[in-house]
Amino acid sequence: MTVDQVWAALEEIPDPEIPVISLVDLGVIRDVAIDGDRVHIDFTPTFLGCPALEVMKRALEDKVTELGGEPDVAVIQDDSWSTDRITPAGREKLREAGFAPPAPRAAGATTLVQLQSKAFRCPYCGSRETKLENIFGPTPCRSIRWCESCRQPFEQFKTI
Amino acid sequence: MDWAHTIARRYLYEEADRIRLDALRKSDDAELAGLAAKIDREEVYHRMHAEMWAARLRDEPRFRNAVDELWPYALGVLEPEQRAELARRVGLDVVAAKERGEHTPELAELWNEMTEVRRSVPGAQW
């Protein structure tokens, strides 16, 4: 078993809430190391209160067990994950599934003025004529926007 | 419960919480500082939500009255040395802080509801 094989296997684990994207695409796997049979994974949750945290941790452990390894998953509770960690492939998968990917982190935190600006593109028609409907969408990590061009709502990943 | 009161409480709490989180981020306990920094990424949106509604209701008498009523409790969220900063941010004068020291009856009701499944199926795993 090699580190590359482990990464390839982890690539198959879908995000529990948005299954179009894998945990690897989401950027939550920070490191994989192998020591004999032991497979050590550093895992950084997205949101601290994410209800899917335990589900993801268990999915990582199950995948390592399937490969014949002994899982050792460490949950890193620091500030190292941000939406900038979502891979370019992951962003594209989100967009294809109708979720607008998060904007890159600007210098400093997001402001209401930015959310109300025309910087966000509709994932369906590509128009920038979109407006903020609600900061909090179906999950804490998504906002609801409205596209003025194709006249439909869409979910925008928050930049955190 | 008056909705303006709910928004006033939320707004004051978020302003106080920001000061508390800023202090925790500077903690010399690296784990605590890391958690506070991570929480703060999400808090940005909570503050934004509270500030957005507070700005809309700012001149409403019901909102003003609720802010005045809750202000001593908002000060009580923080340590004495942090209270002047909260007063500066929300534009009010420091008054004697009120620390309730006990939970209101609403907590018991909320707790009962939120722990219902766990109590009805002891040992449940999900």
pLDDT above 90 (res A80) = no
CB-defined contacts A:B, below 8 A: 45
Domain containing A152 equals 98-157
Provide the domain count of chain A.
2
Per-residue pLDDT of A11-64, as tens digits, reads 999 998 889 999 999 999 999 999 999 999 999 988 777 778 888 999 999 999
Tokens encoding A19: 């299954």
Contacts of residue A51 in chain B, CB cutoff 8 Å?
none
pLDDT value at residue A107: 61
Same domain? A55 vs A102: no
Listed range (B66-80, B94-108, B112-126) with the worst mean pLDDT: B112-126
Mean pLDDT over B2-13 rounds to: 95
Same domain? A71 vs A118: no
* A113 close contact with B: CB closer than 8 A: no
Same domain? A68 vs A11: yes
Q: What global pTM score does this model have?
A: 0.77
pLDDT value at residue A109: 67
ipTM over 0.95: no
- Name the H helices within A67-133: 88-96, 112-115
Contacts of residue B39 in chain A, CB cutoff 8 Å?
48
Same domain? A66 vs A103: no
The CATH number given to whatever domain includes residue A17 is: 3.30.300.130
Mean pLDDT over A5-15 rounds to: 95
Per-residue pLDDT of B52-71, as tens digits, reads 899 999 999 999 999 999 99
CA distance B83 to B69: 17
Same domain? A103 vs A71: no
* A112 close contact with B: CB closer than 8 A: yes
Contacts of residue A49 in chain B, CB cutoff 8 Å?
42
For residue A47, CA distances in Å to A94, A115, B121 come to 18, 20, 28
B59 Cβ contact partners less than 8 Å away, ≥ 6 residues apart: none
